[in-house]
Amino acid sequence: MSHPDVRLKPHYEEAQVANSWRGRLDSFRKSSLSAVADLLSPLLRSRAELMGKIGTTFGGSRKLYSVFGWPLTPDYDWYKHLYDRGGIAKRVIDAYPYATWRNAPEIKEKKEQGAEDTQFEKDWKELCKRKRIFHYLQRVDRMARLGEFAILFIGYNDGAGYDDLAGPVGVVRGSTPWDKLLYLQPYSEKNAVVSTWDNDPNSPRFGLPQLYTINIQSPQLGGSIKSITRTVKVHYTRILHVAEDVFENDSEGTPALRPALNLLLDMEKVLGAAAEAFYQQTPPGTIFNAQADATHDTGTLLDTDMETLVDDFINGFRRHLIVKGMDIKTIQSELGDPSKLYGCLIELLAGITGIPKRILTGSEMGELASSQDETNWNSRIEERQLNWAEPFVLTPLVEEFIGKGVLAPPSNVNLSFTCEWRSQKALGEQAKAEVSDKKAGAIQKYCGAPDAQEIVPPDIFLEEVMNFPPETVERIKKTREEIWNKELEEMLKDEETLAEEEKKRRDILGEGPNRPPVQPVGVPDE
């Protein structure tokens, strides 16, 4: 048996040769790449610097939110700023609460149909009227959507002062429900902070707030309109906690603007950029190419710092720039149309929020884009009423009033009550009927007014006054032309008939063109 080294020697030599060629090839490649890199390095460096300046690269990683100007950790102040200044963000917040509480539901006992109102039902109706219950429910709903939660501070007539609010509600005094309930005051998460949580795992309120720290604003004495802020501790029994779209924590929901924040900021960019472009580019810019010794009353024109001139030209309303040369040029740029991009952002925003475009843009009083939009919107509102507003807001509030003695309990066996919401479909049909009635009255007045069509042409009246869509106006115009053509045909037929009847009458009476000639008197016949 041969030695392994001897047997493998030819293969070893071949490997050595191959490795030597491979080494030479690698060396050639490295030298070639090095030469190419030397040639391209200035270009690559300049390209990298350029890309870094425009924000597409950050050390090899793409921080898109930083590049696009989107905040990584938005807080309540971000949402409140957009709500106060953004316009469309206010629609996103308010649309659902307004539609949910627009028509207050009825609280009724479970009883035989047709029975008279019980004392519980009468007290609730009167309490809602006197204390404006649903007004405050709508306000706290809006505040809850703006942040992670909001609270409704309930003022019971139990004699508690500022120092006693940290304890549970005592015995509520008063002869009527509206005497026992002093006030309702909503607070946002900005002015109502959970200071103590229930950390007892054996407590039915485990993980829920125990105490709140509330910044209460009170008017100053002396007639001043300014207010002072008093910070107080308030027990949870005096609070209705409202949070929507909760995830892991039952007390902290998702702000309604958070999923749409990037879109809302982009819409701000589009509107601001379009307005600024119009401001800057509408007046034409002028470049003066003057010689170095050009002067005016105050001295040499070129004494002013050129950077300052350029900055004023770009950012201010200075629409001329003086440089060296002989020519005078006018710069006129075309203004871009932001409507397509803004319309695309509106479409995306409607998809994210579930709010139809017509409502987002402020046309909710008119017809929605389609019956499908209306159906979907009504379904969302009814779902919100039944699955959130009733079980998490309204029912707990009524139960608190019953438990604290503000309302007398229901008189039925089970001490139960129900919430009856009005159908959104019925409300939509009612609104349509009201709008149609008003439009019909306006059209009737317009048609009956003297010289109305001369002052305001029908097309303008239909589009600008009645807010009919263009396709509706075209259908009306087509229908009107068809009616006019039909009436014209009928008139022509009537005229032809009258002409024929007149001809027949004249022929019968001998007055037609074929009547025999009349002989003159006293002239004999031939």
Nearest to residue 192, comparing CAs of 164, 153, 156? 153
Provide the pLDDT for residue 101.
95
Residue type, 353: T
Nearest to residue 271, comparing CAs of 199, 202, 184, 339? 339
Residue 89: exposure state from Cβ atoms within 10 A (0-12, 13-18, ≥19): buried
Q: List, edge to edge, every strand of the sheet that includes 192-197.
A: 192-197, 209-219, 227-235
Is 341 a member of any domain? no
Write the DSSP assignment of 291-313 as a string of letters.
Answer: -TT-EETTEEGGGS-HHHHHHHH
Domain of residue 327, residue span = 283-334
E strand map for 127-226: 150-156, 181-188, 192-197, 209-219
Query: Do 372 and 295 fall within a single domain?
Result: no
Query: Do 175 and 53 fall within a single domain?
Result: no
What are the Cα distances from residue 479, in Å, to 85, 342, 468, 488? 45, 35, 15, 14
Nearest to residue 210, comparing CAs of 243, 175, 177, 235? 235
Query: Do 192 and 304 fall within a single domain?
Result: no
**φ, ψ (nearest 5 deg) of residue 360:** -60, -35
Is 130 a member of any domain? yes
Query: Do 169 and 232 fall within a single domain?
Result: yes
Look at the chain and report how many structural domains it folds into.
Answer: 3
Quote the tokens at residue 264. 């809302």
pLDDT tens, the chain, 526 aa long: 444 444 444 444 444 544 555 555 555 555 554 554 454 455 555 555 555 555 455 555 667 787 788 888 899 999 999 999 878 899 999 999 999 999 889 998 877 666 788 899 999 999 999 999 999 999 999 999 999 999 999 999 999 998 999 999 999 999 999 999 999 999 999 999 999 999 999 999 999 999 999 998 766 555 555 667 889 999 999 999 999 999 888 999 999 999 999 899 888 888 888 877 777 776 666 666 666 665 544 444 555 566 677 677 766 666 666 666 556 566 666 777 788 888 888 889 989 999 988 888 876 544 555 667 788 898 999 999 999 999 999 999 999 999 999 999 988 777 789 999 987 665 555 555 556 666 677 777 767 676 767 677 777 777 767 767 677 777 777 787 777 777 777 777 777 777 777 777 676 766 655 555 555 555 555 4
Query: Do 197 and 145 fall within a single domain?
Result: yes
In terms of DSSP bridges, do strands 106-109 and 417-420 run parallel, antiparallel, or are they unpaired? antiparallel
Provide the pLDDT for residue 337.
77
pTM: 0.64
Where among 365, 390, 422 does a domain terminate? 422
Residue 195: exposure state from Cβ atoms within 10 A (0-12, 13-18, ≥19): middle
Query: Do 233 and 374 fall within a single domain?
Result: yes
Provide the pLDDT for residue 76.
93
Where among 37, 62, 87 does a domain terminate? 62
Where among 334, 364, 395 does a domain terminate? 334
In terms of DSSP bridges, do strands 285-290 and 320-324 run parallel, antiparallel, or are they unpaired? parallel
Nearest to residue 503, comparing CAs of 515, 512, 516? 512
Q: Where are the alpha helices (DSSP H) in 54-191?
A: 64-68, 76-85, 88-101, 119-131, 133-146, 177-180
What are the Cα distances from residue 317, in Å, to 266, 270, 278, 280? 26, 21, 12, 7
Place of tokens 């045909």: 489
Determine contact, residues 151/213, Cβ cutoff 8 Å.
Answer: no
Query: Do 35 and 86 fall within a single domain?
Result: no
Query: Do 296 and 378 fall within a single domain?
Result: no
Query: Do 256 and 372 fall within a single domain?
Result: yes
Query: Do 197 and 244 fall within a single domain?
Result: yes
d(C-alpha 524, C-alpha 408), whole Å: 122
Query: Do 230 and 356 fall within a single domain?
Result: yes
Provide the pLDDT for residue 365.
46
Provide the pLDDT for residue 486.
77
Beta-carbon-side half-sphere exposure of residue 236 (alpha carbons within 13 Å)? 16
Query: Do 92 and 230 fall within a single domain?
Result: yes
